[in-house]
């Protein structure tokens, strides 16, 4: 008996219907034709070969899976894409006893395949039952559901009868299978989050990732937070070392003119340009209240229609400083260091007026110049001949000029609203949307020389 103790009482077989995977198909002139005659014919021949080496098969069931899918890398799309999996045979074979079976490598030899394609059942009393259920994917709701009638019965009770008796139990087992799969994939997902390969957006929009997140929310949230902190500190270290300086862009125009759409398109192009060179830039869209509460080190910070009073004047000065990383206030927990690659602000008023209001909060007696000189570029969005136009202005030191606040019907707001400024537009060029984006990306490339964005901007990646 001892010599038979390692012989499996049942096995699973998975193999592509390609003659290069079956020794007998390559050796026999009729082999290739046999592989196209259906699961029943193929399995009957496999059973015959097993019996020729002394095995006694009491049950044998098989099906051709021709509607399965798999993810593969597309060189043309530079992304994972879903494609049909090649046709393959799934079979389950049960032997009369261990003495009527054989060691796994001998069984593989008898079947005519490599040993890695022959599988022992898992542990537990339901191992054989689980292999039977897998033939139709009964326990796997995320896989294609094959009809029980597609399963060929070569030995043993008819599979249709087995399915009728076990179907309800198999369907109940889906939750257990899903829980097991989630547990197996959790550590891999957590590690990928810590490496920045999986973002919160991907988790919320991907069914498989959300299944894992829903069962391990605290651990995944901790991983997202840890990665964000590390990303923020790395970015701050690069800023201090002079690897880059923050590129601040202020976009203004009338309500509903398309500022947010332009900002989003422009940010998307910047992120795509960075990602094309192996970076993993992400965008953080700030809330109107406590804007930095949920910031997790994202490289691009979008302050869309944020009121000037959303932060104290000193916080604005610290956040917009292109060359220094500084702590930032948050409602629940202050941020250690904030050093984004790019900050984009959208507003309905022009920047001097915006920061005139910002300066009023926080008792900071700073000249308006201190705010304006932190901007790299200002974009005015306006309509001309029924199409949007974009006036891109680059900010720098200019001859002193006087700014006067526009009268808005409230005299107290107008009193003393005059300032002399020495920073303002040095150049002004009108663009369409596409060329405006290119102009701004060129500015980002200058500010982030450690990432070769200019190659993408120039059209020669």
pLDDT one-digit tens code per residue, 315-345: 899 889 999 887 665 544 555 678 899 999 9
Q: What is the mean pLDDT of residues 295-324?
A: 89
Angstrom distances, CA of residue 427 to CA of 180, 190, 266:
61, 48, 20
pLDDT of residue 365 exceeding 70: no
Q: In angstroms, rounded to a whole number, what is the distance separating the alpha carbons of residues 269 and 285? A: 16
Q: Please, what is the average pLDDT of the chain?
A: 86
Q: What is the pLDDT of residue 181?
A: 64
Q: What is the pLDDT of residue 362?
A: 60
pLDDT of residue 411 exceeding 60: no
pLDDT digits (tens, 9 = 90+) for 122-160: 877 888 998 999 999 998 888 899 999 999 999 999 999
The lowest-confidence range among 21-30, 38-47, 89-98, 393-402 is 21-30
Closest by CA to 110, choosing from 152, 196, 65, 48, is 48
> Is residue 88 a contact partner of residue 64, using CB atoms and an 8 Å limit?
yes
Q: What is the pLDDT of residue 112?
A: 93
Q: What is the pLDDT of residue 297?
A: 86
Crossing angle of helices 259-275/433-447, nearest 10°?
A: 50
pLDDT digits (tens, 9 = 90+) for 204-235: 888 778 888 888 899 999 999 899 888 888 88
pTM above 0.75? no
CB atoms inside a 10 Å sphere around CB 10 = 19
Q: What is the pLDDT of residue 60?
A: 97
Give 3 or 165, the one with higher predicted confidence: 165
Q: In angstroms, rounded to a whole number, what is the distance separating the alpha carbons of residues 41 and 399? A: 90
> What number of CA atoms fall less than 13 Å from residue 92's CA on the CB side?
20
Percent of the chain exceeding pLDDT 90 equals 50
Q: How many residues does the chain have?
A: 461
Q: What is the pLDDT of residue 300?
A: 93
Q: What is the pLDDT of residue 39?
A: 94
């Amino acid at each position: 008996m001892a010599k038979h103790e390692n012989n499996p009482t049942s096995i699973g077989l998975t193999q592509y219907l390609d003659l290069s995977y079956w020794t007998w198909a390559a050796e026999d002139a009729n082999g290739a034709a046999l592989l196209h005659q259906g699961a029943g014919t193929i399995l009957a021949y496999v059973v015959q070969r097993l019996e020729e080496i002394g095995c006694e098969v009491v049950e044998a069931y098989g099906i051709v899976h021709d509607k399965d899918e798999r993810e593969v890398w597309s060189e043309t799309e530079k992304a994972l894409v879903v494609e049909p999996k090649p046709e393959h045979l799934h079979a389950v074979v049960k032997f009369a006893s261990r003495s009527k079976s054989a060691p796994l490598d001998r069984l593989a030899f008898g079947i005519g395949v490599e040993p890695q394609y022959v599988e022992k059942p898992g542990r537990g009393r339901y191992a054989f039952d689980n292999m039977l259920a897998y033939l139709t994917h009964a326990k796997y709701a995320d896989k294609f559901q094959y009809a029980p009638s597609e399963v060929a019965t070569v030995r043993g009770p008819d599979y249709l009868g087995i399915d009728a008796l076990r179907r309800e139990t198999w369907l109940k087992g889906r939750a257990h299978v899903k829980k097991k799969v989630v547990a197996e994939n959790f550590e891999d997902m957590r590690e990928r989050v810590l490496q920045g390969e999986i973002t919160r957006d991907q988790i919320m929009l991907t069914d498989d990732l959300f299944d894992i997140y829903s069962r391990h929310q605290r651990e995944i949230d901790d991983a997202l937070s840890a990665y964000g902190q590390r990303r923020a500190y790395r970015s701050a270290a690069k800023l201090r070392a002079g690897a880059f300086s923050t590129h601040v862009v202020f976009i203004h125009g009338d309500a509903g003119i398309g500022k947010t759409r332009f900002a989003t398109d422009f940010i998307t192009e910047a992120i795509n340009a960075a990602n094309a060179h192996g970076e993993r830039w992400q965008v953080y869209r700030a809330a109107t209240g406590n804007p930095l509460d949920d910031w997790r080190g994202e490289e691009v910070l979008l302050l869309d229609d944020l009121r000037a009073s959303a932060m104290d004047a000193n916080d604005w000065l610290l956040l917009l400083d292109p060359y220094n990383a500084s702590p930032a206030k948050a409602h629940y927990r202050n941020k250690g260091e904030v050093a984004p690659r790019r900050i984009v602000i959208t507003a309905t008023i022009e920047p001097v007026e915006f920061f005139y209001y910002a300066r009023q909060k926080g008792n900071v007696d700073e000249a308006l110049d201190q705010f304006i000189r932190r901007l790299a570029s200002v974009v005015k969005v306006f309509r001309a001949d029924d199409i949007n136009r974009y006036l891109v202005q680059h900010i720098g030191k200019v001859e002193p000029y006087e700014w006067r606040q526009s009268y808005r019907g409230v005299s107290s707001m107008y009193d003393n609203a005059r300032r002399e400024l020495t920073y303002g537009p040095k150049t002004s060029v009108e663009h369409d949307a596409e060329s405006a984006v290119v102009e701004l990306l060129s500015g980002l490339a200058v500010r982030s020389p450690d990432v070769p964005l200019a190659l993408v901007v120039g059209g020669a990646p």
